[in-house]
Amino acid sequence: MSAALHLIMSGKMTEAEAQQYSPLTLAFLGDSVYEVLVRSALTEQANMPVQKLHSEKIQFVCAGFQARAAERLELTEAEQAIYRRGRNASVHPPKSAGLADYRKATGLEAVFGYLHLIGNTQRIEELFAAVWGMRDELISKTK
Tell whether the model's pLDDT for residue 4 goes beyond 70.
no
Tell me if residue 31 is catalytic.
Answer: yes
Instruction: Determine contact, residues 116/8, Cβ cutoff 8 Å.
Output: yes
pLDDT given for residue 119 in this prediction: 93
Question: CA-to-CA distance for 39 and 27, rounded, in angstroms?
Answer: 18
Of the chain, the percentage scoring pLDDT greater than 90 comes to 74
**What's residue 7's pLDDT?**
44
Q: How confident is the model at residue 138 (pLDDT cuts 50, 70, 90)?
A: confident
| pLDDT above 70: residue 8 | no
Euclidean distance between CA atoms 96 and 62, whole angstroms: 9
Question: What's the whole-number average pLDDT of the chain?
Answer: 89
CA distances from 87 to 46, 105, 110 (A): 34, 7, 8
DSSP 36-64: HHHHHHHHHH----HHHHHHHHHHHHSHH
pLDDT of residue 6: 52
User: Confidence band (pLDDT; 50, 70, 90) for 96?
Assistant: confident
- The answer on pLDDT for 118 being more than 90 is yes
H helices of the chain, in order, are 3-8, 15-19, 23-45, 50-61, 63-72, 77-88, 99-117, 121-133, 135-142
End-to-end CA distance of the chain: 33
Complete domains list, the chain, with CATH = 3-142 (1.10.1520.10)
pLDDT, residue 11, reads 60
Packing angle of the helix pair 63-72, 135-142 (nearest 10 deg): 130
From 21, 27, 30, 31, the catalytic residue: 31
Q: Which pLDDT band holds residue 92 (cuts at 50, 70, 90)?
A: confident
